Amino acid sequence: MQPVDNPSWLTRLGDAFAWPLRTSHYLELVNPLWTTHALQARVEKVWDETADARTITLRPGRNWRSHRPGQHLRIGVPIGGMHYTRTYSISSAPEASDELITITVKAITGGRMSHHLVRNIKPGDHLPIGVPQGDFYLPDANPVQPLFISAGSGITPIISMLRSLVAQERLPDVVHLHYAPHAYDVIFGNELRALAARHPQYRLHLLYTREPGAAPTAAAAGRRHFSAEQLGEVCPDWRDRDVFACGPQGLLDALESHWDRAGLSRQLHSERFRAQVAATPAQVSSGTVRFARSGVVASSDGVVNLLRLAEDHGLNPAHGCRMGICHGCDAVLKSGCVRDLRTNAMLNEADQIVQICVCAAAGDAELEL
Amino acid sequence: MGIPSHLSAGDIEEFGREMDAIRNEVMDSRGDRDRAYILRVIRWQRSLALGGRIVMFISLLALPLSGLPYAGWPQFLVVLALGSIMLGIAKIIENMEIGHNVMHAQWDWMRDPNIQSNTWEWDNVCPSDQWKHSHNVVHHTWTNVIGKDPDIGYGVLRVTPVQHWRPKFLAQPLINFFLNILFQWGVAIHDLEVDKILEGEKSLASVRPMLRRIVWKASRQLLKDYVLWPALGALLTLPAALVLQVNPAAVALAAFLLVAGGNMFANLMRNVWSNVIIFCGHFPSGVHHFSKQDVEGETRARWYIRQLLGSANIGGGKLFHVLSGNLSHQIEHHLFPDMPSNRYPEVAPRVRALAARYRLPYNTASLTRQFGSTTWTIWRLAFPGGRIKAATA
Ligand SMILES: Cc1cc2nc3c(=O)[nH]c(=O)nc-3n(C[C@H](O)[C@H](O)[C@H](O)COP(=O)(O)OP(=O)(O)OC[C@H]3O[C@@H](n4cnc5c(N)ncnc54)[C@H](O)[C@@H]3O)c2cc1C
Ligand code: FES
């Protein structure tokens, strides 16, 4: 997805032949993995982990650089002709020698991308990807005693860390709390249990939030969600550990306030799988519009078009026809939701281009203006 | 001229609503097949462009200077022409079905980061940002409004009797010829409004930044077609010349000039073709023009009517439509400029039926007819007078 900066003189010469394209656009005709103008990956394999979660094995193209366990990448997928971009944690370890990476996706009810990835994607497809990003990873140097807390698909960055530690043969003393609704919903369940059986220093606690009777450990029985007592029981030395947590908002909020109260927030590292699309309000609704570049904030009634709104607040965005024809007013929607006044279509994908003369805010929105 | 008087304000608004309904229906149904279409066209176009350049290189093997068996001028020229025509067609598709339409934001809905109107640059000396301003913003908003639409005769031609005759128009058959063969250069300097600069309405200093961008763009275009590719062709002949013991300098020079010539022919093909198609979109006889008063307080429905009356279609087959960037559906393009071009053929019959129901003209004819009447108009209007021949249904 990201173009690569600082090309060598040879690349630049080649690109001058291909102008206004790049040599890479022609290489793409032969093999999409050779491109440098846009990084792509080929789907090599798909594997169902549970009824609604699937691991997708990807072969990234030439400009890929190895990730740190815990990092994520952006993936773009065309669905119905339209690109959607979402973020997924890499679940494989960078030590894997086959130059392949995996992501593990859980289908969310009503989710556009997760459903498509879990149900429709097939080997041989090419997907645009970004390079690894994020600062949720284990420090390389100093030995840490981690406490991993994960829930649901939040296991993905954690399994990457575990796999990497095992591959490097430096698995330290680890406590791992993982929450899932039922035993059969545990993504990587068998691998985790096998790991625990093989490495005594890895202590796994699987906690089932919907079926207390089936919990394998006595300590977890009867307790469903995270609580201070539960933590004290399964990991009495939690104060001495560096915590790496990933899961739904509720869990992470609870963890943050717990570690905050203990005055240990610096030891808590968390990764939020926050949603990347704004909710679409059912009817016309007022909200706040932020014009990011100018820092202007305006309140909208949900009816006035964004061009008018910007002008009323002293901005002077480029425009032409003011009636949705010329695209002279195109602007990037950074976040939030806007409504196309012609069709009432809701536009809520981050970083998409919207025509501000024929769109009004639907709730809150942020525009690159 | 102007908006026909047989329609009441209510009729016009109803017409606009029906037009909106067609637009919304098609826009809502955009999906996988449209994406597959544009990706296929792009893939074909790039392969054809590269293929054409390779065929031109292969033609060098048949250069008589090489002394190889089968070498000879006729063989050489046929292969060179083939490569050059392939490149010319690739350039036509790149400029028209791809570039023009991508820059109209027809494909922005896909949100594909590689096919976006705001980042697309085309294989043409006109910088894409200036094109988007003069074409999308000014021409498409003010289509055929005298004094507002710079595309009425491009500031150098008199294409409707409504434009006052001046002696400079006597030269327009000649100017038209040069505009035709140098079309991309005309397009490049169009946004500068040279006519206004010459008449002192606009200062040269005010257009300097634009001029700099044109130079930036044009120099890359020229470098590619007239230095780099010819030089590569010349370089490739060197090993062969050494093996065959012919004068390497003479062969290399000939190869350089011939590849440059082949590229020039490809650019010429694109210039002539795009000029013909674009002129046939607004200048054939029967096309309406409007005054500034006509568009005061114009509603969207009236805007639709102006687009319908101000444009003309060209009939033809599927390949013809693709090669013309679907601007052969100029009417549909003007009504729905940001609709993916592959949908114009399917909305055309609906637009035509709608126009017929409201007794509005729908100007369509063969390429020969539209080009014939365009050329006749340009020749006739070089002289004073001329009759207004606005079509009626
Ligand atoms: C750093 C990071 C790493 C991530 N890693 C993974 C991963 O490894 N595996 C994985 O499956 N997902 C992961 N996600 C979440 C993923 O990016 C998508 O948000 C998720 O797949 C839903 O996308 P969608 O298109 O299916 O849903 P959308 O169409 O975007 O949303 C549909 C509805 O679901 C709600 N929704 C969206 N996401 C969530 C969520 N996470 N929890 C609750 N409700 C939600 C939306 O508000 C909306 O109402 C990660 C997110 C981030 C930010
Ligand atoms: S100003 Fe022309 S589309 Fe918005």
DSSP for A47-87, written as a single string? EEEETTEEEEEEEE-TT--PPPTT-EEEEEEEETTEEEEEE
- Output the pLDDT for position A221: 43
Q: Rounded to the nearest 10 degrees, what angle do helices B183-190 and B248-282 cross at?
A: 60
Tell me the residue type at B100. H
**In angstroms, what separates the C-alpha of A301 from chain B's closest C-alpha?**
24
The rounded distance, in Å, linking the Cα atoms of B127 and B108 is 19
Please give the distance of CA B273 from its chain centroid, rounded to a whole number: 8
Distance CA A127, CA A76 (A): 6
Q: Is A1 at the interface with chain B, CB within 8 A?
A: yes
Q: How confident is the model at residue A212 (pLDDT cuts 50, 70, 90)?
A: low
Q: What is the dihedral of CA A19, B327, B128, A358, to 10 degrees?
A: -140
Which residue in chain A is spatially nearest to B53 when comparing CA positions? A17
Residue of B nearest to A82 (CA): B110
Q: Does one domain contain both B135 and B245?
A: no
Of B255, B270, B285, the residue that ends a domain is B270
Q: pLDDT band for position A142 (50/70/90)?
A: low
Which fold is adopted by the domain A287-367? Ubiquitin-like (UB roll) (3.10.20)
Four-point Cα dihedral A19, A20, A22, A23, nearest 10 = -40
The enclosing H or E element of B354 equals: helix B344-357
Instruction: List all residues whose CB is within 6 A of at least one atom of ligand 1.
Output: A 72, 84, 86-89, 104-106, 108, 110-115, 153, 156, 248, 271, 273-277, 279
Please return the burial class of A328, using the count of CB atoms within 10 Å of its CB with bins 0-12, 13-18 and 19+.
buried
Q: For residues B9 and A270, give the distance between their C-alpha atoms in angstroms, rounded to a whole number.
A: 62
Q: Which ligand is nearest to the CA of A355?
A: 2
What angle in degrees, to the nearest 10, is found between the helix axes of B229-244 and B248-282? 150
Compute the nearest-CA separation of B139 from chain A (Å).
9
Those residues whose C-beta lies under 8 Å from the C-beta of residue A168, and which sit 6 or more positions away, are: A95
**Mean pLDDT score across all residues of chain A:** 92
Which residues lie closer than 8 Å to B145 by C-beta, 6 or more apart?
B289, B290, B291, B292, B294, B295, B306
CA of A354 to the centre of ligand 2 (A): 10
Residues B311 and B349 in one domain: yes
Three-state DSSP state, A352: strand
Interface test with A, best of B137, B224, B295 (most A CBs within 10 A): B137
**Among A127, A54, A57, which residue's Cα sits nearest to residue A86?**
A127
Cβ contact (<8 Å) for A17 and B228?
yes
Of A357, A359, A367, A369, the one to substitute when testing ligand 2's pocket (max ligand atoms within 8 A of C-beta) is A357
> What is the rounded distance in angstroms from the CA atom of residue B290 to the CA atom of residue B393?
18
For residues B20 and B50, state if they share a domain: no
Q: Is the peptide bond before A20 cis (omega within 30 degrees of 0)?
A: yes
End-to-end CA separation in angstroms for chain B: 13
**Separation CA A95–CA A110 (nearest Å):** 35
> Could A342 and B232 be called an inter-chain contact, meaning their C-beta atoms sit closer than 8 Å?
no
Q: Say whether residue A47 is in contact with chain B using an 8 A CB cutoff.
A: no
Residue B98 lies in a domain: yes
Q: Which of B270, B286, B310 is the last residue of a domain?
A: B270
Which whole-number Å values give the CA distances from B380 to B166, B169, B368, in the listed order?
13, 10, 18
Six-digit token string for B342: 């592959």
Tell me which residues of chain B have a pLDDT lower than 50.
none
Per-residue confidence at A217, pLDDT binned at 50, 70, 90? low
Where, residue-wise, is CATH 3.40.50.80 in chain A? 146-271
Distance CA A200, CA B121 (A): 60
Show the tokens assigned to A19. Answer: 């102008």
Q: Would B372 be classed as within a structural domain?
A: yes
Residue B391 lies in a domain: no
Cβ-based contacts of B223 with chain A (< 8 Å): 16, 19
Is the pLDDT score of A97 beyond 90? no
Contacts of B206 (CB under 8 A, 6+ apart): none
Q: Count Cβ atoms within 10 A of the Cβ of residue B223 and give its class: 0-12 exposed, 13-18 middle, 19 or more buried.
A: middle
Same domain assignment for residues B43 and B179 = no
Indicate whether B193 belongs to any domain.
yes
Residues B23 and B54 in one domain: no
Cβ of A172 under 8 Å from any chain B Cβ? no
Distance CA B311, CA B144 (A): 9
Same domain, B280 and B160: yes
Residue of A nearest to B110 (CA): A82
A326–B232 C-beta distance less than 8 A: no
How far apart CA A180 and CA B157 sit, in angstroms, is 74
B215 domain residue, yes or no: no
In a domain, B3, yes or no: no
The alpha carbon of B363 and the centre of ligand 1 are apart by a number of angstroms equal to 51
Q: Nearest-CA neighbor of A323 among A305, A337, A335, A302?
A: A305
Is there a cis peptide before residue B361, judged by omega within 30 degrees of 0? no
CA–CA gap between residue B204 and residue A144 (Å, rounded): 68
What ligand 1 atom has the least distance to the C-alpha of A271? Answer: 1
Pair B146, B114 in one domain:
no
Q: Ligand 2, from A305, A323, A359, A367: best to mutate by most atoms within 8 Å of Cβ?
A: A323
Do B88 and B194 share a domain, yes or no? Answer: no
For residue B357, the distance in angstroms to the closest alpha carbon of chain A comes to 24
Structural domain boundaries, residue B141: 9-30+125-204+276-380
Q: What are the residues facing A175 on neighbouring strands?
A: A147, A203
Q: Which bin fits B105, alpha (ψ -120 to 50), beta or left (φ > 0)?
A: left
Instruction: Among A306, A308, A309, A321, say which to mutate for ligand 2: greatest number of ligand atoms within 8 Å of CB.
Output: A321
Task: Write out residues 269-298 of A within 8 Å (CB-CB) of B.
Answer: none
Interface touch A326/B137, C-beta < 8 Å: yes
Inter-chain touch B111–A82, beta carbons under 8 Å = yes
Q: Where, residue-wise, is CATH 3.10.20.30 in chain A? A: 287-367
Least distant ligand from the CA of A108 = 1
A9-128 CATH: 2.40.30.10
Where would I find the H helices in A131-227? Answer: 155-167, 189-198
- The residues near B209 (Cβ < 8 Å, ≥ 6 apart) are none
Q: Tell me which H or E stretch contains A364.
A: strand A359-367
Structural contact between residues B348 and B259, judged by C-beta atoms closer than 8 angstroms: no
Rounded mean pLDDT, A275-294: 89
Count of domains observed in chain B? 2
* Neighboring chain B residues of A82 at a CB cutoff of 8 Å: 109-111
Q: A357 CA to chain B: closest CA distance, Å?
A: 13
- Give residues with Cβ within 8 angstroms of B36, minimum separation 6: none
Looking at chain A, the domain(s) classified CATH 2.40.30.10 span 9-128
Residue A217 CA: distances (Å) to CA of A212, A213, A214, A296, A335: 10, 10, 9, 55, 43
pLDDT of residue A132: 96
**Bridge partners (DSSP) listed for residue A95:** none
Q: Which residues pair with A129 in a beta bridge?
A: A75
**Residues in chain B within 8 Å Cβ distance of A326:** 136-137, 140-141, 337
Tell me what pLDDT residue B356 has. 97
The closest CB to that of A327, out of B111, B114, B136, belongs to B136
The pLDDT mean for chain B works out to 94
For chain B, the helix, strand and coil percentages under 3-state DSSP, each to the nearest 5: 70, 0, 30
Residue where a domain stops, chosen among B251, B270, B289: B270
Spatial distance between the Cα atoms of A38 and A24, rounded to a whole number of angstroms: 9
Residue A260 has pLDDT above 50, yes or no: yes
Chain A positions touching B112 (Cβ under 8 A) are: 78, 83
Do residues B66 and B185 both lie within one domain? no
Give me the architecture of the A146-271 domain, per CATH. Answer: 3-Layer(aba) Sandwich (3.40)
Calpha distance A244→B333 (Å, rounded): 56
Cα–Cα distance list, A216 to A222, A274, A295, B9 (Å): 11, 30, 53, 77
CA angle B339, B343, B344 (to 5 degrees): 85
Strands, E assignment, chain B: 313-314, 364-365
Look at residue B377 in the predicted model and tell me its pLDDT: 95
Q: Are residues B148 and B178 in the same domain?
A: yes
- Paired with B174 in beta bridges are none
B209 part of a folded domain: no
CA closest to B339 among chain A residues? A325
Q: Kindly state whether residues B233 and B309 are assigned to the same domain.
A: no
Question: Does A93 contact B at CB distance below 8 Å?
Answer: no
**Do B187 and B249 fall into the same domain?**
no
